[in-house]
Amino acid sequence: MDKSFNAFAMAQAQFDKCADIIGLDAATRELLRYPMREYSFAIPVKMDDGHFQVFRGFRVQHNDARGPGKGGIRFHPLETIDTVRALSMWMTWKCAVVDIPLGGSKGGVVCDPHNLSHGEQERICRGWVRTLARDIGPLRDVPAPDVMTNAQHMLWMLDEYEAIHGAKYPGLITGKPVGMGGSLGRTEATGYGVVYTLREALRLLGIPVDKTVASVQGFGNVAQYAIRLYQQYGGKVICVACWDQYDQAAYTYRKMDGVDVDELLSITDKFGGIDKKQAPGLGYEILPGGDWLHQEVDVLIPAALENQLTAENIKKMSKRVKVIAEGANGPTTPEADKVIAERGVYLIPDFLANAGGVTCSYFEQVQCNLNYYWEKDEVLHKLDQKMTSAFLSVAELAKARRLYMRDAAYVIAVNRVAQACKDRGWV
């Protein structure tokens, strides 16, 4: 990751552009440009060998005018408060663009789960919750999984919160295991949401899905399920790129006949890292990490981290590319956006394309509150309806006002949040 890159500065630049488009007043602009609350704290943890190590934790609550805060918790060795600020802001727009009654939050811990035992990770989770036990809750701020966290982490956090407050609060956190308050379909939701919007974009462009070829960056949960659904629709994915923890480098794994998710999972660790030594035996070429972007494909799906499509590398993108569906948060810099717009590539912006996760988290909250859980087909049908409706609203505005898709999505989201702030009398 480029240490000079500041995700929050990028998020603010995107917001500033939208604020100019809609003529947002100074007070509302100032309110929405920064988080309402943020927490930075130490988590002392007793390690397995008996020594204590202090981890840095974060929680940022950007805006809750439309409802309780909502947002994941990342475990990442390069996590920063500015990254969490940016992600919380993007969560505000994400909830607004799909029109669910939630605000934007985000959390994180500076750590590397690759190098932590099960017990050490549990103690970090419980320590994170103990620090924030008065500042999160079903009606206040609802965490969820994100990069390198999962359903087990969420259950540890829920258990700690319930122990502190002496009651059951299944709506505190989403992304829980099914059977413990989790929702069927939540695992697939973000990746499926990406492909639901991609399907609609290709339909508007008059391109059959089964005639397209894609390249994907990332091989975590989002990428895996996006590939699965895209292939069910008849599309072909020829390569995936992912980070190698041991080499501390990224590689692209290409198979021109099409990648097989289950085949790759057989040689993948729990963090989405593919075994470079075993891949050739399954027929995969191993290319440099950045080569996923240079492939002769119709669709690009960045589904890893922020700052992946830049002014420098976007120039190497194939002229064949017609659509970019952002499965990751903040993968494209404003400078790269200019090149994409100039080339006429149809971009589905991150906080629309990957909103399937938070939408299904909202469904999980509803089910927890009702204490009644839906079947998987019902969850995914509702998700498809919500994602399709949101996409069409953005696409129609973009066409009517001749806006870049990211700008159109921002106009819808920021207007909704700004109006909620005004209605409450905050500005």
Structure tokens at 229: 């659904």
pLDDT of residue 4: 72
Average pLDDT on 4-11 reads: 90
Residues 175-181 have a mean pLDDT of: 94
pLDDT in tens, 147-165: 899 999 999 999 999 999 9
**Of 301, 282, 305, nearest in space to 230 by CA:** 301
Please compute the mean of the pLDDT values over residues 167-177 and round it to a whole number.
95
Mean pLDDT of 378-407: 98
Task: Measure the CA angle with vertex 220, ends 215 and 224; round to 5°.
Answer: 55
Report pLDDT digits (tens) over 339-367.
Answer: 999 999 999 999 999 999 999 999 999 99
Residue-wise DSSP of 52-104: EEEEEEEEEEEE-TTSSEEEEEEEETT--HHHHHHHHHHHHHHHHHTT-S-EE
Interval 219-246 mean pLDDT: 94
pLDDT band at 5 (very low <50, low <70, confident <90, very high): confident
Residue 183: pLDDT over 50? yes
For residue 135, the tally of other CB atoms under 10 A from its CB is: 13
197/192 Cα distance (integer angstroms): 9
Question: What 3-state DSSP class applies to 149?
Answer: coil
In Å, what is the CA distance from 144 to each residue of 9, 196, 417? 24, 22, 22
pLDDT bin (cut points 50, 70, 90) of residue 393 is very high
| Domains detected in the chain | 35-182 (3.40.50.10860), 187-353 (3.40.50.720)
Assign residue 280 a region (left: φ > 0; alpha: ψ between -120 and 50; beta: otherwise): alpha
Angle at which helices 26-33 and 7-22 cross, to 10°: 160
Q: How confident is the model at residue 215 (pLDDT cuts 50, 70, 90)?
A: very high
Of the candidates 17, 70, 94, 106, the residue annotated as catalytic is: 106
pLDDT exceeds cutoff 80 at 272 = no
CB 73 within 8 A of CB 151: no
Specify the pairing of strand 52-63 against strand 37-46. Answer: antiparallel
Average pLDDT over residues 57-80: 97
Place of tokens 């005004």: 422
Q: What are phi and psi of 252, to 5 degrees?
A: -110, 130
Least confident of 45-49, 140-144, 306-310: 306-310
Q: Which helix (H) or strand (E) holds 242?
A: strand 236-244
pLDDT of 249 higher than 80? yes
Q: What counts of helices (H) and strands (E) characterise the chain?
A: 13, 12
Distance CA 172, CA 142 (A): 5
Question: 334-343 and 7-22 helices cross at what angle (nearest 10)?
Answer: 60
**Annotated catalytic, 386?**
no
Residue 1: the pLDDT is 47
Q: Kind of pairing, strands 323-325 and 346-348?
A: parallel
Residue 216 has pLDDT above 50, yes or no: yes
**What pLDDT is attached to residue 306?**
86
DSSP 359: H
Question: Rounded mean pLDDT of 67-95?
Answer: 96
Does 273 score more than 90 pLDDT? no
Q: Report how far residue 90's alpha carbon sits from residue 305's, in angstroms, rounded to the nearest whole number.
A: 14
Q: What percentage of the chain reaches a pLDDT higher than 70?
A: 99
Per-residue pLDDT, 161: 98
Mean pLDDT, residues 128-134 taken together: 97
For a pLDDT cut of 90, what percent of the chain falls above it? Answer: 92
At residue 3, the pLDDT reads 59
Residues with Cβ within 8 Å of residue 372, at least 6 apart in sequence: none
Distance CA 20, CA 350 (A): 21
Tokens of 64: 């809750």
The pLDDT assigned to 270 comes to 75
2 pLDDT more than 70? no
